[in-house]
Each structure stands twice: as C-alpha cells, then as structure tokens.
C-alpha cells in the first residue's frame, strides 16, 4: 500500500480552492487524510467542498487584493491549525497589449500575485521554521520560462515567484522545511473565464493568440493530473521544481530551452501561440 500524505502532514492551507487547480489540490489532500483550510474571495463558493468533506474541509474568505488582511487571516488560522502544508495557488490572468492599456491592471496583478503571495509565504515560512517542519508550495507557471503573449504582468509575477522559490530553497536547506516551485502548463480549468481583458480592442494578432490560448486550456489535462504530481513531490519531502502539464509544455519545451538557442526558443513560442 502506498504511503499516505497524512503520515507526514496533518493540516494544509490552500488559496484559490474553489475551482481549478486549487480545488484539485484540496481534494487530493483530503483524500489522503489531510485536513484542509481552503480559501476563496467569497466563502460561499466553497460550499460544495464543505458539503462533500464536512469537518475535513474548512472554508476561509481571503482576498489577496488586501495583503495585510490576507496575512492576518492566515495567521489567525495558523495559530490553531499549525499548518504543515501551505499552497499559494490563487491568481488570475490579464490579457492585453502592455502599452495600449492603462498601467493599473498590470500593477494590481503583480501586487496580488507576487507581492501579496510573497507576503503569505513569509508568514507561512516563519511559522514552519519555528516548528522545524512543513512544506511551502508556491504555484508558479511554465510561463516563468515561456512567457505568454499579451500577458506580461502574469509572466513577471510567475517568474518572480519562481525566483523567490529558488532563493527560499537555499535558505531552508538543512531544516525540516521544504519549498516546492510548481510550474503547471495549460490545464482544463476555468482560468480562461477569469482572465481580465482591460481593453475590448483586439488586433488580429491578439485574436489569434487568444484563440490558441483558449483552445489549449480547453484541451489540457485534467487538474487531477497536477494534483498527482504535487502529491508525489510532497511524499519525496525534498525541495525542488515540479513541471507538470501536457508533454510538450512540461518536458519537450524545457528540454529545448535548455539545449536550444534563445532565438529558436522565441520562434517556437511565437509559432505555438500563433503570435
């Protein structure tokens, strides 16, 4: 019989747990005997998980647009639960031309997805190091390595988060804490519907790229695939990077990036998104 996560971890905190990858992570953890505190901007969106898992799932209202309030919410929950798994997953996309739209949507996205996610990481890591146990999991993206056309702030936030993860892996070495940098590709989630488009004006290039992006989201692997990859990484109890998704994105793409030239990589990306 395979080892269960509950033999290593007891309580988990998962942001963005109402849909998509966050929900898949929460479901996976509960199935393995871990009690989960899952967040959404509106706790009512977590009702189905509460009904399905009862006392094994606790809904938490948390909005990353307010970093101070989000940190306070996390600290209050951690005081009683003492989380040994924290998964920073919440996020969203903004699709548009960087120079053709106001700067505010880009600033807000970087603050929410990089600065405020780092703020939660800071609070979680302090608590874990004080207890000398735990796993900090930050959900980055393969966009950190292969930037998405017309989603510049998303690319910056995810690249910055991966850089933070790499730094933290070095800092926690030799302790009872691990850091996982999870980089998913396109999965079959509702992420496409959550993408904000600050301008209604689409150039032909933008329209082609959006169609390619939407098609890849609709035909991507099921989120349970990403949850299984995270489960394996948690069981290994070692810091590291987890690339997951369809074969080209998670395996072939990184291989070409490592051994191919930068101009080749750029040509492949442009062709892939029809940009």
Q: Which of 13, 215, 203, 217 is nearest to 99 (CA)?
A: 203
**DSSP-derived 3-state class of residue 120:** helix
Active site residue 154: yes
Q: Which of 154, 187, 272, 273 is catalytic?
A: 154
- Whole-angstrom distance between the N-terminal and C-terminal Cα of the chain? 48
CA distance 244 to 227: 10
Question: Within 146-261, where are the H helices?
Answer: 152-172, 191-194, 204-218, 223-236, 247, 253-259
Q: What's the order of all strands across the beta sheet hosting 85-88?
A: 57-61, 35-40, 11-14, 85-88, 134-139, 177-184, 240-244
Question: Within 66-138, where are the H helices?
Answer: 67-81, 104-110, 116-131
CA distance 171 to 36: 27
Check: CB of residue 185 under 8 Å from CB of residue 220: yes
Residues with active-site annotation:
154
């Amino acid at each position: 019989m395979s080892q269960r996560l509950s033999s290593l971890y007891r309580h988990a905190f998962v942001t963005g747990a109402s849909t998509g990858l966050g929900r898949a992570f929460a479901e996976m953890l509960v199935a393995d005997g871990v009690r989960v505190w899952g967040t959404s901007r509106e706790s009512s969106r977590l009702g189905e998980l509460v009904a399905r898992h009862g006392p094994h799932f606790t809904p938490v209202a948390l909005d990353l647009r307010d970093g101070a309030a989000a940190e306070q919410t996390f600290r209050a929950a951690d005081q009683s639960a003492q989380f040994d798994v924290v998964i920073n997953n919440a996020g969203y996309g903004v699709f548009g031309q960087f120079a053709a739209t106001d700067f505010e949507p880009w600033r807000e996205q970087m603050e929410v997805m990089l600065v405020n996610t780092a703020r939660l990481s800071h609070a979680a890591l302090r608590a874990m190091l004080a207890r000398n146990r735990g796993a900090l999991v930050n959900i980055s993206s393969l966009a950190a390595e292969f930037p998405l056309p017309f989603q510049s702030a998303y690319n910056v936030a995810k690249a910055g988060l991966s850089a933070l993860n790499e730094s933290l892996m070095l800092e926690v070495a030799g302790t009872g804490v691990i850091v996982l940098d999870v980089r998913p590709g396109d999965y079959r989630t509702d992420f496409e519907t959550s993408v904000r488009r600050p301008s209604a004006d689409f150039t032909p290039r933008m329209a082609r790229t959006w169609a390619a992006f939407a098609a890849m989201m609709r035909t991507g692997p099921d989120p349970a695939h990403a949850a299984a990859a995270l489960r394996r990484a948690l069981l290994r109890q070692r810091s590291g990077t987890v690339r997951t998704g369809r074969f080209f994105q998670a395996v072939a793409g990184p291989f070409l990036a490592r051994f191919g030239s930068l101009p080749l990589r750029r040509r492949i990306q442009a062709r892939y998104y029809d940009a």
